[in-house]
């Protein structure tokens, strides 16, 4: 069994998609645990509904790292998957899981990445810049926001009449379609 730990800060739609994908398609891979920095994050409700344990940690516990590393060890984690997780991963966790932490970003990096560029902020910036395409980037996590090696990218169009919500819908479709497949591929070759 290959175990995934999902880190999420928000509603958890990407986390739910990943959990559901592996529950229905691959008995050798599962989301074993969900970890969040927010007690009221919607991801906890989704995880509970899908039978996956979830835990909340404080920012101090996260930066120090030992509690997080114990949880990851307890659940025999093979891959850490960020799904709408907004904190920078501390060095102690990156060092413990080299090349085993991935993130999905809602743009074609290196464009529209970095600190503060997440969710609707990215889509608003794409529309304001009058881009003709955007997309998703799955990348390894390193010590800098959105600078780890790119694993996968897929684009979608941005039309002149698009709002940030229009762009978000197209990007979410790409996320839901591709993130579980990329995770599965990474766990199959590691």
Q: What is the pLDDT of residues 96-152, one digit of tens each?
A: 999 999 999 999 999 999 999 999 999 999 999 999 999 999 999 999 999 999 999
Amino acid 27: pLDDT: 80
Concerning whether 105 is annotated as a catalytic residue, the answer is yes
Strands 29-36 and 54-56: parallel
157 Cβ neighbours under 8 A, 6+ residues apart? 132, 133, 170
Instruction: Reply yes or no: is the peptide bond before residue 81 cis, omega within 30 of 0.
Output: no
- At 44, is the pLDDT very low, low, confident or very high (cuts 50, 70, 90)? very high
Amino acid 109: pLDDT: 98
- At 18, is the pLDDT very low, low, confident or very high (cuts 50, 70, 90)? very high
Percent of the chain with pLDDT over 90: 97
Amino acid 189: pLDDT: 73
Say whether pLDDT at 26 is over 80. no
Determine which one of 105, 123, 139, 172 is catalytic: 105
Residues written for the chain: 190
């Amino acid at each position: 069994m290959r175990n995934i730990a999902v880190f999420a800060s928000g509603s958890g739609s990407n986390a739910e998609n990943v959990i559901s994908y592996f529950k229905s398609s691959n008995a050798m891979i599962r989301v074993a645990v969900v970890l969040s920095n927010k007690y009221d994050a919607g991801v906890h409700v989704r995880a509970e509904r899908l039978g996956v344990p979830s835990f909340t940690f404080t920012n101090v516990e996260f930066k120090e790292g030992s509690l997080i590393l114990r949880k990851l060890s307890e659940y025999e984690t093979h891959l850490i998957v960020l799904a709408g997780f907004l904190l920078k991963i501390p060095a102690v966790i990156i060092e413990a899981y080299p090349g085993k932490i991935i993130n999905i970003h809602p743009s074609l990096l290196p464009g529209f990445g970095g600190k503060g560029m997440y969710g609707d902020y990215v889509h608003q910036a794409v529309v304001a810049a009058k881009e003709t395409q955007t997309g998703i980037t799955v990348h390894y996590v390193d010590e800098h926001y959105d600078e780890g090696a790119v694993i996968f990218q897929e684009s979608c169009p941005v039309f002149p009449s698009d709002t940030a919500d229009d762009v978000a819908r197209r990007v979410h479709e790409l996320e839901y379609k591709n993130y579980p497949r990329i995770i599965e591929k990474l766990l199959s070759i590691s």
